[in-house]
Amino acid sequence: MFWADEVALELKKRKLPLEWVDDMKTPSGKIHVGALRGVVIHDLAYKSLKDAGVKAKYTYIFDNHDPMDSLPIYLPKEKFEKYMGVPLYKIPSPEIGFANYAEFYAKDFIDVFTKIGCTPEILWSTDLYLNGKMNDSIKEILDKADKIRKIYEEMYKKELPKNWYPFQPYCPNCTKVSTTSVTSWDGEKVHMVCAVDKVNWTKGCGFEGDISPFSDKNGIVGKLPWKVEWAVKWKVVGITVEGAGKDHMSKGGSHDLADEICKKIINYPTPYPLGYEFFLIGGKKMSSSKGLGSSAAEMLDILPPELLRFLMVKTKLNRAIDFDPNKDTIPNLFDEYQKAADAYFDKRNEDLARIFELSQISYKIQKPPKIRFSALTQWVQMPNMDGEIKKEDLGEWAKYARVWVDKFAPEDEKFVIQEELPKEAHDLSKEQKEVLRKIAQEVNKKWDGEEFQTRIYELGKELGLNGKQTFAAIYLSLIGKDHGPKAAWLILSLDKEFIKKRFNEV
């Protein structure tokens, strides 16, 4: 049984009135494809719950109130460095048409995961604060700061100052949050300091004073540290299912601390955890703020939406995805998708069929093209194949085949019809030259590809040539290489007069 269906059946036993599935992300820059894996995993859990007859909801929270703590390399330093330490929603958008920096990158990510069939309800952390929903929990957290301090100390084996409090004010003077600390709490107000040298990548302003920690519709005055806030948001929103990547879910990681906050501080059951491995690009982990790896949006430039989703769906949670477009990863992925489609439509291999079903980006399940991607990458390099591509309904996939050829294909997979007779053709044997002459005599007949391929082989055999020798003669004459796409299709894709002229020239 597919893993998400197993999870759904397990959760069904809880008999909760609503299973609330959620995922979260800080839009600190171009959101990488690794974060997309979390969106899909939670989407699979949500859809499997619904298929199991469980009432379910799926939300996605953007932590747009977090500070900019690292400047993406693709943004101009002179324009954005001054916002280091400032909450993302208070930073201007890199492009016009968006309310702020956080919205710009969040909406770019929303566009991607919507295209691959994920449609969670979008929530913003700022709204949870502005609506006052966090205030009761903020008071509880501050009131129990000594207990939270002890949780940190026991988990990380490091003593915290007695005046450490789990709250980060927004400085009312310079608006920064990375530079602030709370040193006392009297039940109504916190005493805060915006330290000039708290961090080495931005400067505080030195402000010191008492403020209320409770936000309202007039503005946000501060936030909880994210590991504590993670647990509080579970309770405030009502989340019952949420996981994260293995860096957060490993022993002693962020999830363990949030779990302790749930159990010992806020009395809320920790949501069912969906832990998963990383998405790697060529063996490397990615970072949104540092600009490392492919962004989610860039992935849709090289893969159709259903193939990008399929890549996520087919890989088990406890296995890393290592996507390397410079290898044969992409052609193999298309082949696997077609096999999964066969399993679904032929009603065999139940797990593979379910993977195909859950990889669809709409409720209408469609058969993919039958032509292999490796063949299509050859077709897009042949002249006059547009009609054949259209006949086989390959227009959409052909776009990605061209991208693969242009950007990722090894040199031996590429070919160009040479305008002049390649010098390599001069060394052909007498028999190879003769078979070209005979082929030239056949091109005016009406052929389909398979019949012509067989005929070419027979012509060579009659002259004592094996298949490799026959087809090498064709390739060397047309593209200057001794190998290439299926020879019959290559010849039929070209102008007949050109073929006769070229082969007779040899």
Rounded Cα distance, 419 and 477, in Å:
11
Same domain, 207 and 245: no
Q: 426: domain CATH number?
A: 1.10.10.350
> Does residue 331 fall inside a structural domain?
no
Q: Which helix (H) or strand (E) holds 22?
A: strand 19-25
Same domain, 425 and 470: yes
Mean pLDDT, the chain, integer? 95
> Does residue 178 fall inside a structural domain?
yes
**pLDDT at 250 > cutoff 60:** yes
> Does residue 217 fall inside a structural domain?
yes
Contact status, residue 421 vs residue 483, Cβ threshold 8 Å: no
> Does residue 206 fall inside a structural domain?
yes
256-273 pLDDT per residue, tens: 999 999 999 999 999 999
Contact status, residue 254 vs residue 24, Cβ threshold 8 Å: no
**Cα angle vertex 38, ends 275, 74, to 5°?**
125
Q: Which helix (H) or strand (E) holds 342?
A: helix 329-345
Same domain, 210 and 243: no
Residues linked to residue 168 through DSSP beta bridges, in sequence order: 223
> Does residue 200 fall inside a structural domain?
yes
Q: What is the predicted pLDDT for the residue at 290?
A: 45
109-123 pLDDT per residue, tens: 999 999 999 999 999
Q: 42: domain CATH number?
A: 3.40.50.620
> Does residue 347 fall inside a structural domain?
no
Same domain, 200 and 53: no
CB neighbour burial string for 171-201, b if at least 16 within 10 angstroms, e if fewer:
bbebbbbbbbbbeebeeeebbbbbbeebeee
354-394 pLDDT per residue, tens: 999 999 998 889 999 999 999 999 999 998 899 889 999 99
Percent of the chain scoring above 70 in pLDDT: 98
Same domain, 119 and 16: yes
Same domain, 13 and 104: yes
Count the domains in the chain: 3
What length is written for the chain?
A: 506
> Does residue 426 fall inside a structural domain?
yes
503: left (phi over 0), alpha (psi -120 to 50) or beta: alpha
Give the strands of the sheet with 56-62, arranged side by side: 19-25, 56-62, 121-124
Same domain, 151 and 74: no
Q: What is the predicted pLDDT for the residue at 327?
A: 85
Domain boundary among 223, 247, 267: 223
Same domain, 263 and 179: no
Q: What is the predicted pLDDT for the residue at 281?
A: 84
Q: What is the predicted pLDDT for the residue at 287?
A: 55
Same domain, 10 and 145: no
Q: What is the predicted pLDDT for the residue at 283?
A: 74
> Does residue 243 fall inside a structural domain?
yes
Sequence-separated (6 or more) residues with CB below 8 Å from residue 172: 207, 209, 211, 221
Q: List the domain range (segments joined by +) for residue 149.
A: 136-223
Q: What is the predicted pLDDT for the residue at 285?
A: 65
Same domain, 79 and 182: no
112-166 pLDDT per residue, tens: 999 999 999 999 999 999 999 999 999 999 999 999 999 999 999 999 999 999 9
20-30 pLDDT per residue, tens: 999 999 999 99
Contact status, residue 311 vs residue 294, Cβ threshold 8 Å: no
DSSP string across 251-312: TTSHHHHHHHHIIIII--PPPBP-EEPPEEETTB--BTTTTBS-BHHHHTTTS-HHHHHHHH
Same domain, 185 and 37: no
Same domain, 109 and 29: yes
How is residue 177 annotated by DSSP?
A: S
Q: What is the predicted pLDDT for the residue at 294?
A: 73
Residues linked to residue 284 through DSSP beta bridges, in sequence order: 281
Q: Give rounded-to-5 percent helix, strand, coil for the chain.
A: 45, 10, 40
Residue in 298, 277, 364, 373 with CA at minimum distance from that of residue 328: 373
